């Protein structure tokens, strides 16, 4: 079964957009798994996972800035004309939410560690400055928000993959292919 046939109207995304999408997709999936293990398992590798989580989180924050700039400077293929209006709306809304979560999660992570008085050391020993001073109450609230956002992002990603496959396998309108570079 071929998952993608560019039989629809959608033109492919620009190369840079495709590269950013897939690199960030891989990083975000890794981050979500690392975060789940950190939160739900007293792992013997906690310190290493925590350093990895901070480092990749910071990298994602940098990449999402590049990606936002790219989004506004590069064209985005339009959705097929025959896509029903509610689906179009859902597509746009979910993309805005995905961007929002991609920005908010690392920012909240950075802020919560700052508020908790944790030094923010990246892989290789590089320090990044705290976003705020020591506010233990805020740390507790932000730590909770960080989890809620992560679970929200997981649901969004699951919906996103489902929607992409719906375009690629059922509708076969070229929308999925546009992010595969076809």
For residue 46, give the H/E element and its range.
Answer: helix 46-73
Q: Rule CB under 8 A: say whether 42 interacts with another protein.
A: yes
Write out 57-94 in H/E/C secondary structure.
HHHHHHHHHHHHHHHHHCCCCCCCCCCCHHHHHHHHHH
Query: How far is it, in rounded angstroms, from Cα 177 to Cα 4?
Result: 5
With CA atoms as reference, report the closest residue to 99 among 54, 60, 139.
60
**Of 15-23, 53-61, 90-98, 163-171, which segment contacts another protein by CB under 8 A?**
163-171
- The site string for another protein over 102-141 (x = CB under 8 A, - otherwise) reads --------------xxxx-----x-x------x-xx-xxx
User: What's the Cα-to-Cα distance from 143 to each of 53, 113, 116, rounded to whole Å?
Assistant: 14, 8, 9
- The site string for another protein over 69-108 (x = CB under 8 A, - otherwise) reads ----------------------------------------
Question: Judged by CB, which is closer to another protein: 70, or 166?
Answer: 166
Task: Please give the residue ranges that form the binding site for another protein (CB under 8 A).
Answer: 1, 3, 5, 7, 29, 32-33, 36-47, 50, 116-119, 125, 127, 134, 136-137, 139-141, 143-144, 154, 157-159, 161-162, 165-166, 169-172
């Amino acid at each position: 079964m071929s998952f993608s046939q560019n039989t629809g109207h959608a033109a492919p995304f620009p190369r840079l957009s495709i590269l950013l999408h897939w690199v960030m997709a891989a990083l975000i999936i890794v981050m979500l798994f690392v975060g789940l293990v950190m939160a739900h398992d007293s792992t013997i590798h906690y310190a290493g996972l925590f350093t990895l989580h901070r480092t990749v989180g910071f990298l994602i924050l940098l990449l999402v800035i590049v990606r936002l700039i790219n989004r506004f400077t590069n064209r985005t293929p339009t959705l097929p004309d025959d896509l029903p209006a509610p689906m179009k709306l859902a597509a746009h809304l979910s993309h805005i939410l995905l961007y929002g979560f991609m920005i908010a999660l690392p920012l909240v992570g950075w802020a919560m560690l700052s508020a908790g008085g944790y030094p923010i050391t990246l892989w290789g020993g590089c320090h990044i400055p705290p976003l705020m001073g020591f506010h233990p109450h805020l740390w507790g609230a932000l730590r909770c928000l960080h989890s809620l956002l992560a679970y929200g992002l997981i649901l969004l990603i699951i919906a996103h993959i489902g929607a992409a496959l719906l375009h690629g396998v059922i509708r076969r309108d070229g929308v999925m292919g546009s992010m595969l570079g076809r």
